[in-house]
Amino acid sequence: MEHDVAWKKYDEADLEALEHLAAEYIDFISDNKTERECARTAIALAEEHGYASLDDAVREGRALKAGDKVWAQAHGKALILAHLGDKPLAEGLNILGAHIDSPRLDLKQNPLYESNGFAHLDTHYYGGIKNYQWVTLPLAMHGVIAKKDGTVVDVQVGDDPGDPVFCVTDLLIHLAGKQMAKKANEVVEGEDLDILVGNRPYTPASADSPADGSDVPADATDAPIDADKEPVKAFALKLLAEKYGIAEDDFLSAEIEMVPAGRARDLGLDRSMVIGYGQDDRVCAYTSLVAQLAVEHPAKTAVCVLVDKEEIGSVGATGMASQFFENTIAEIMELAGESGPLPLRRALAASSMLSSDVSAGFDPAYAAAFETKNSAFLGRGLVFNKYTGSRGKSGSNDANAEYVARIRRIMDDAGVAFQTAELGKVDVGGGGTIAYIPAKYGMDVIDSGVAVLSMHSPWEVTSKADIYEAFKGYEAFLKNA
């Protein structure tokens, strides 16, 4: 069965709402390129919509009741929003869950070195990438540096128009005969993804005049290391000391991510698509977030979960596999007068969840990788994947048929355009999401999201129609599941 293109059903009001949502989404993914930035912005938006800190409520012993809105965060990189409904929590929650981490290059703990007149930063890639896609690409530096005195310095260089950018270099085609003969996964090896950050040596003149023209702190005019031995590295460290007040050993306690520089943009003569970094999975995270904020007077408690580390297995204290989700729901139930391990288990088992993650959009340039009857197409609406996994559904959640039927009813009643899909051909495709993790509580979970072209590349492509239908679908689910 073939689903129609969502664009065909839109009137002027729909098109205006679609473009407004797309513009705000483009701003969000352009301004928030790390999980920390996404979480910080989401908290600010939530507070504008009446959400209050759960930690404050716990500290004050403040009771929660229907209509109350609270947020909780884990280490600044994962977030839960809850809007309490009229029904007891033990009757279940309606949950949207997405991840806010994306593939990138992370700086190593001892990253800065000089070689043959160039200063470089050594990296370790994060998540599944094609290494060769990251060469000669303008990169921005985003993250934090935690100093021994307890201060945390925000770092963001490369996305303002006046900023410098960075890159990984590549070998010119004239000398690349041996390189071109390699397999794609060997053309650029992981250890070769080093970031070029400087070529100017430290000199007595540079000690008195910083490259950006700013005033030089009195204690920053001396070369941080042996300027005769490593002059380019010395100058790079001097600039870091001037701008951020950091020394080389502060990299030991830093989280710096190298991401594609530049804003997301409209794509196509018809401006029907969005091209930008990190749409896996921020296209689902953003639409889940705004759907959560749009819900008023829910019958069941509405929850939005935005987590970290999905791209590397949902591990760690900020991943879905941590106790952050369960502990937060337990705290909410305690303040709502439904405390205890058994009510918590009942609430989780009775819950329904959309694991909001992207799906592979059918690409006619690579049609051989897809089975068209069960593929997601851009512009045909929200995608539901009954199962993901690979090689015989390995690692899949595989939603129950009864739950799929309920989701179909909710989407049809709300007029949401949707489609179903698998992630490529049976022996070709596959992938995982967070769905299998909350499913361990016995709740109903299904993967749902937006179809993406060029997934996991530095610049990914989505349809504005699918973004709009995802928002509508997520809102309908929170109201009616």
Joined tokens for residue 243: 């701008």
Per-residue pLDDT tens over the stretch 3-47: 789 999 999 999 999 999 999 999 999 999 999 999 999 999 999
User: Do residues 99 and 312 lie in contact, with contact meaning Cβ atoms separated by under 8 Å?
Assistant: no
User: Can you give the pTM of this predicted structure?
Assistant: 0.94
Beta-strand (E) ranges in 363-414? 382-385, 389-390
CA-based nearest residue to 200, from 188, 189, 212, 192: 212
Per-residue pLDDT tens over the stretch 176-193: 999 999 999 999 999 999
Q: Inform me whether the pLDDT recorded for 217 exceeds 80.
A: no
Q: Inform me whether the pLDDT recorded for 171 exceeds 60.
A: yes
Who contacts 70 (Cβ-Cβ below 8 Å, separation ≥6)?
51, 52, 53, 54, 57, 64, 81, 82, 84, 332
How far is 231 from 246, CA to CA, in rounded Å?
A: 18
For residue 109, the Cα-to-chain-centroid distance in whole angstroms is: 23
Joined tokens for residue 72: 């909780």
Joined tokens for residue 63: 């009771």
Please tell me the class of the 104-260 domain.
Answer: mainly beta
For residue 431, the model assigns a pLDDT of: 76
Longest Cα separation, the chain: 74
What letters, b where the CB count within 10 A reaches 16 and e where it falls short, cover 72-100? bbbebbbbbbbbbbeebbbebbbbbbbbb
Q: How far is CA 454 from CA 84, 129, 387, in A?
A: 38, 11, 21
Per-residue pLDDT tens over the stretch 132-149: 999 999 999 999 999 999
The arithmetic mean of pLDDT across residues 59-76, rounded, is 97
H/E stretch holding 360: strand 359-360
User: Do residues 137 and 458 lie in contact, with contact meaning Cβ atoms separated by under 8 Å?
Assistant: yes
Task: State which fold the 6-102+277-480 domain adopts.
Answer: Aminopeptidase (3.40.630)
Q: At what angle do helices 464-480 and 401-413 cross, to 10 degrees?
A: 110
* Domain regions of the chain by residue span: 6-102+277-480, 104-260
HSE at residue 71, side-chain half, CA atoms within 13 A, is: 24
- What string of DSSP letters covers 261-272? -S--EEESTT--
User: Do residues 435 and 321 lie in contact, with contact meaning Cβ atoms separated by under 8 Å?
Assistant: no
The arithmetic mean of pLDDT across residues 347-374, rounded, is 94
Joined tokens for residue 96: 């949207």
Per-residue pLDDT tens over the stretch 235-262: 999 999 998 988 999 999 999 999 999 9
For residue 209, the model assigns a pLDDT of: 56
